[in-house]
Structures are given as C-alpha cells and as structure tokens.
Structure 1
C-alpha cells in the first residue's frame, strides 16, 4: 500500500522522546489571537520596567537628601518667615558671651521697671542660656519661679519649656512694692527642671537686691546664675494627681494620687476637689482622711460633667486639708488649674485639653491658701464665735 496523504502523519518510532515545547504549548491553548497576546505581553513589560524605574529613583532621592542634613548646619537666623523671634530658641552664636570666665550654672536675661505711681515693679523674664542638666541625659524641661524676699507667699511661675537648656520665656510679672520697702527687698529667681513623677530639680538661682539698682530707668541685663540653694519643694508640700477630659461626653476625671512633704505637726490629711464656674463655687468632692502620715496615698477618682462650651470658664481647685496643732481642720495648701492659672498648673491644664481622653499626671507644689483665694477673688468665710467662747 502507498503512503497516506493529507493531514495524517507517520507516528513517531517507539523509544523516541519527541515532546513539544512548554511555552508554545501554553500559547497554543490560549484562545486569543496572536496580536492580542503580543499586546498584553508588551503592556506587562512596560509596567514592570516603570515600577523598577520608580523604585530606583526613590532610592537615589533618599540617598541624596541624607547627605546635606548630616553635613550642613542650618541656623535660625538665616530663615525668613512670619514666625516671631520669641517662639524659637536663640542661636548660641547670637548670645553674648560672659567675659567673666567659664559658666557653671548658666545665665539669665531679665528686665526691670518700677512704676512709682502704681508702686509696682515689673519683672520681664527674657531667656536663659547654658543651663546645666542635673538629671539623666543632656536636656531638661526648665521653668522659672520669681518671688520677693518681703513677699514669700506671692510668687510667679512661667510655663515649662520641653527639652532645652536655652529656654526663651518672654513672660512678665508684677509685684506691688512701696518705695520705702525697695532698699530691703531682694528679687529671687529660681530655675527648676519640671518632672512629672518626681521632685522638680533646681537648676540655678539668682538673688538681686533692688536697693543696689537704679530703677528710675528700664533695665535689661544679663545675670550669672548661682548654684541651687538648699530650699526644697517638699517644705511647702506637693500633691500628685491626674486629669482626663472627654470632650464628647464632657466628663472631667480627677484622680488624686498622693501627697508628700507635709508638715509633721499635721494629722488626718485629706484633699478637697472643687470646681468653680465663672468665679463661683459649683461642685465639690473630697477624699477620705489618712491618719499618722506626712505622705498620704489616696488613689481616689472623681468625675464631673463639664460641657465643652464651659471648659474655658472653669477653675479647678485642689486643696489639702489637715488637723493642725490647735485641733482645727485648716487648709494646708492649694493648687488652682484652668485658663486663669499660670506656670505648671496652666501647662498641666493645657496638656489635658491637648491630649483628650488620655490621663495626664503631674506633681504640683502647694501654694498658700490665702494667695490662691486672692487670685480667684474668693472672700474668706466668716467664722462665728462658738457659745461660751
């Protein structure tokens, strides 16, 4: 018989391994025309190449940006913007050097102005430079405390500046001093490192006798800070508490944790928590008393409902009360927080509003009760004499 013709082919001999290629076989099984397959392959190739180029360009861009940051020092003086100078830290090169020798505790720039008409001395705290960090690390959270030797119960605290040894304050405080008391008055400025969970560390002090200064003109001078004195914050007592505010529900939670440094002659201390609205007494709570201790631990929480529309009109007052030597329960010291506060209490209040729904804990020095009542314009209660007294 003859060879078969047409589409039929002679089968391969037995024992051979002739198999078609894998890729041609896959292409043959796809029911697409050849031009469609070529288009899809070209598009995929372009997409892969584009992704590779983007990754390569991004890596090169990062590598180029790291070099100038490590090698070029940018000064604040060369920047031109609408930011005022009191919102940034000064350059070290722009600060006058001290001709007296090496600096140990830093320097403070302040201004003094006395108004004989109102009998007030205006103290302007400008800035401090080259402070020495006393805690771990090479930085601090400094703030200044200003007082007069003739008015130990009246003092002014600036807000704390985070993470710097060259704080810029630009804050002003006033004290009423009659002209006859000026020669005997000494201006005292203490710089302290703010600590949230421990004692505030002193960084330096300045004592300036006002009788040796000509206050007929406005003075603005640099002064060398001396070593911190032996005055401790525990002598007036301290109180630790946390604040938490939830704007949605208007819940203000105050957790009174502990107190320390109270006078040994006091007995059964407890804490009163009071809310004032528009300088009027509004709500009040108090903790239970602790016996036979100068470092009472409370850990008691109180919740107040304060709408967000009224939070700026509220003053929060925490007062430590105890039974004194005369067996009468009297206030030992107070702390006032709110928009009318200053220094650390104002900073604590601002941190609470800035970190909503998160508790913020800090230690606060107790202020004299009469000083806080005068700042809040509170009138002392009238104590009626007891029958037979």
Structure 2
C-alpha cells in the first residue's frame, strides 16, 4: 500500500543535469578517497601552471631573437687594457664605415713596443672583434704575425673555437735593426682554421712601422682590411695523420701526400724523425717519387714511445729532394711537438687529448733552417766540391 506524500518528504528527481550540486555529487560518487582527489587536483593545477609558464618563456625567447643583432656594438671604452694611461696613444682607426659603405672585416687590438737596446720589436695581440663570416656561421680563428722584409720568421697564435671575437693575449718579438725600422711593415693575418682543407683568410692588417711613434708603448685598435692570399711558401704543404695509443705506447705517423712543391725538385721523399730531449732518436723515410709536385705517399710508420716520454719527444716531418745539386737537401720541415706553435701544436694536442683517435691535417712546410733553429739542432755541414 502506498503512503501518501507528506509535507516533509523529498521532492521527486527531475530530468535536468544542470543541477547546482553537480560537482559535490561527482565527488560523493567517486570511489577514490578524499585525500586522493585533493592530490589529483593539486597535480593538475601544477601541470597547468607549468604549461602556461613554458608558453610565456617561449614567446619571450622568440621576441628576443627577432631583435636585429646589427645594433649590438662592442664598446671600445669598456675594453680593459694592460698598459697605463699615460703610455697609450689615441686610437686612430676606431671608426668604421656605416651601413651601405665598404664591407667590414672586423677590428684588431694590438700593442707595439720597440726596445732600442736589443733592437727588438714586441708585438702583443690582444683580441679581435666583429670578424666577418656568413650569416649565422661561426669560425675557428687564429692570427699569424710576420714582418714583410724578413722572410720565413712568423708567429701563429693558438686556435680559438667557435667565436667571431677571439681573445688572443699572446706576445711575440722580432729583431729589427733601427736603420731598417722605417722600411719594415707589420703584417697580421686572421685565418679560419680548417682541419682537412686550406685555411680561409678572414681579414688582414698591414701596418708600416715607419709611420708610428715607437718611442713608448703603443696600444691601438685597427680595422682589418680585405683578406689577401694566404702565403703558402714555395716549399708547399704536407698532409699527415697522427694517432697515439697511450696504453701500448704506440705513436703512428701516416704520411699521406704533399702539394705545392716546386716543379724543379727531383725525386722528393719524406723523412720522419723523432727527437728525444733535442737529440735525434729514430728516423724513417718514405719511398721516392719522381717528376711530380704533388706526390701521394700514403705510408705508415709506428714508433714505440712510452707515455712518460711523450712530452719530451718532438716529431719532425721533412720533405727532401735532390734538386739541382748532387746530394739531397731538405725542402721544408714541419715540427710537431711541445715547442711547436699554431696549427702543428694544435694537431699534437688533439691526438693526445683524444687517445686512439686518428687525426689528419695539412701543414705548411717551413724553411729547414728556421725549424732547426727553433728546435736547437745544428745544421749538417758538407765538404765543398772541387771548383765550387
């Protein structure tokens, strides 16, 4: 029997879903406990806030990238100097051409000091800025310093990876008699280091020393000019591969090929020599090639050099040829050791840092006398021929 509905009985449920107690009903019907529901709600709130923060950060980064980088200039006034203020001349070539003018090749900061007692000029390479490169590209620059009337002697800095504003902080010196100083020109080449190909010039500076007042220390910024041709001397270039296994104490030298040799050379070959504590230790030689300025040797030599002696060993690669005389003479040499500089020193450092990994590079041949003088070797004297 049905009971009549009283005044305090609950009303019949309606068919609408938009009831004001929808969320409390869902919470009440959920099989999860109250603490689990609170934890899920807090995690969802944190996830939403993190997504919103990531969107805001991405928008800011895109806005920064859209700003033109050409407006970012290096303030020369904020560059620290190592010379006192009263010894520094005013900057001469500080102002470059604006947009629409001549192309900019960058700027170079250097210091010059001439010692009249020893008749030596000290060249300090400080840094370079705004080197020219393709848009968005990077370079591995290094600088090469030489004096134009003095053949052979030059100084190369170490390579700086992935930058267009390298800080060199290196000093070199050249002997220049006081009478020859007005006719001497300082040449600084900034090059992009390439492992397996020729190095690409980035800019060049030619500074006549006769136009400068070298009675006191001179520190200036100079604008680099268009790069000239890289002077690969008449002796040519040599490509070699090096590998060192410290566990076995095994040094592998592969003489690959040479290029740019003089066509007048007869029967060129390569001598591979190891020096231990500035004394001749081990010597090997490749086969002889005839009638070519680009011989392809591709010959490997293995030397047993313990890890305890690797820092005291100098590797010298020398190209020999008969030439116009009756005996063979060194055409040019490459020194790869702790006393090397520039690219040869970088090549040696790479193979020691990456054990058992081979590395091949081209090296410019230097005059034999210059390399022997740097390594402290005495020249080999030969008896003169009758009638010579």
Partner Cα separation in structure 2 for residue 164 and residue 213 of structure 1:
31
Whether 1:182 and 2:178 are equivalent positions in the alignment is no
What's 1:118 paired with?
118
In structure 2, the residue matched to 1:101 is 97
Q: Note the alpha carbon deviations across 1:247-272, whole angstroms, 9 max, x for none.
A: 11110111111110111111211111
Contact 2:94/2:222, CA 8 A, preserved across alignment: no
Structure 1 pair 341–172 and aligned structure 2 pair: CA distance change class (3 A): same
What is the TM-score of this pair, normalised by structure 1?
A: 0.76
CA pair 289-217 structure 1, distance change in 2 beyond 3 A: same
Pick closer, same or farther for the CA change 1:57–1:359 going to 2, 3 Å: farther
Shift in Å, 1:67: 6.7
Contact 1:129–1:165 at 8 Å: present in 2 too? Answer: yes
Query: Does the 8 Å CA contact 2:268/2:322 hold for their aligned counterparts?
Result: yes
1:289/1:133 CA distance change after superposition, 3 Å = farther
The verdict on how the C-alpha distance between 1:164 and 1:325 changes in structure 2, with shifts beyond 3 A counting, is same
The CA distance in 2 between the partners of 1:214 and 1:231, in whole Å, is: 29
Change (3 A) 1:64 1:275: farther
CA 1:207–1:58: 2 relative to 1, 3 Å: same
Paired with 1:226 and 1:212, the residues of 2 have a C-alpha distance of 18
TM-score, length-normalised on structure 2?
0.76
Change (3 A) 1:99 1:58: same
> Could you tell me how far apart the structure 1 residues matched to 2:209 and 2:370 are?
23
Per the alignment, in what secondary structure is the counterpart of residue 318 of structure 1?
Answer: strand
Does the C-alpha gap of structure 1 residues 385 and 165 become closer, same or farther in structure 2, counting only changes over 3 Å? same
* Residue 275 (structure 1) aligns with: 274
Question: What secondary structure, in the 3-state scheme, does the structure 2 residue paired with 1:151 have?
Answer: coil
CA RMSD of aligned residues (A): 3.0
Hey, what does 2:131 align to over in structure 1? 131
Distance 2:256 2:224 in 1: 35
Residue equivalent to 1:359: 358
Q: Distance in 2 between matches of 1:386 and 1:58?
A: 92
Mapping for residues 52-63 of structure 1, pairs under 5 Å:
none
Q: Partner residue of 1:151?
A: 150
Give SS of 2:202's match.
strand
Are residue 291 (structure 1) and residue 290 (structure 2) matched? Answer: yes
Name the structure 1 match of 2:196: 197
Matched, 1:258 2:257: yes
Partner of 1:76: none
Q: Give the number of aligned pairs.
A: 327
SS in 2 for 1:342: coil
SS of the counterpart of 1:346? Answer: helix
Report what 1:226 is aligned to.
225
Give CA-to-partner distance per residue, 1:332-383, whole Å, 9 cap, x none: 1111011111111111111111111100111111111000000011111121
CA drift at 1:384? 2.3
Q: 1:281 to 1:212 in 2, by over 3 A?
A: same
State the partner residue of 1:248.
Answer: 247
Greater Cα shift, 282-291 or 103-112: 103-112
Return the alpha-carbon distance in structure 2 between the equivalents of residues 247 and 314 of structure 1. 14
SS of the residue aligned with 1:133?
A: coil
What residue is the counterpart of 1:78 in the other structure?
none
1:150-169 → structure 2 map (5 Å cutoff) = 150-169=149-168
Q: 8 Å contact 1:200–1:233 — kept in the other structure?
A: no
Q: By how many angstroms is 1:234 displaced?
A: 6.0
